[in-house]
Amino acid sequence: MKPKGWKDLPPGSVITRPGSATEFKTGSWRTFRPVWVPENCIQCLFCWMYCPDMAIKVKDGKREEFDYDYCKGCGICARECPGKKGQKAIIMVEEGK
């Protein structure tokens, strides 16, 4: 699909279709990728609370893998993660390595 130019956008860039943000896989913007280390995870869910992109999946009150389609790699989750006994449960690695 050809990207829209500014002349194609509605005045004020008003969103006319609810839920359309899910179509944009913003994970392609990432230069660093968070990696979960489950053995250091205490399931505090801080990462889920702090993630600005809702890119951490939670099921039955427990965190699961990252949703890399929408994770922009900002690193907030890794920064806020307390981990277990000083060992982080999220580390940031360079994308593609």
Q: In the chain, what is the straight-line distance between the N-terminal and C-terminal CA atoms, in Å?
A: 29
Distance CA 18, CA 12 (A): 16
Question: What is the C-alpha separation between 93 and 71, in angstroms, rounded?
Answer: 13
Stretch 39-58: interaction string toward ligand SF4, x if CB under 6 A: --xxxxxxx---x-x-xx--
According to the binding rule CB under 6 A, does residue 83 interact with ligand SF4? yes
- Taking the complex as a whole, how short is the minimal distance between the CB of residue 48 and ligand SF4, in angstroms? 7
Q: Collapsing DSSP states into helix, strand and coil, what is residue 71?
A: coil
Please report, as residue ranges, which positions from 5 to 34 form the binding site for ligand SF4 (by CB under 6 A): 34
Asked whether the beta carbons of 54 and 26 are under 8 A apart, the reply is no
Nearer to ligand SF4, 9 or 65 (CB): 65
Which residues form the interface with ligand SF4 (CB under 6 A)?
A: 34, 36, 41-47, 51, 53, 55-56, 63, 66, 71-77, 81-83, 89-90
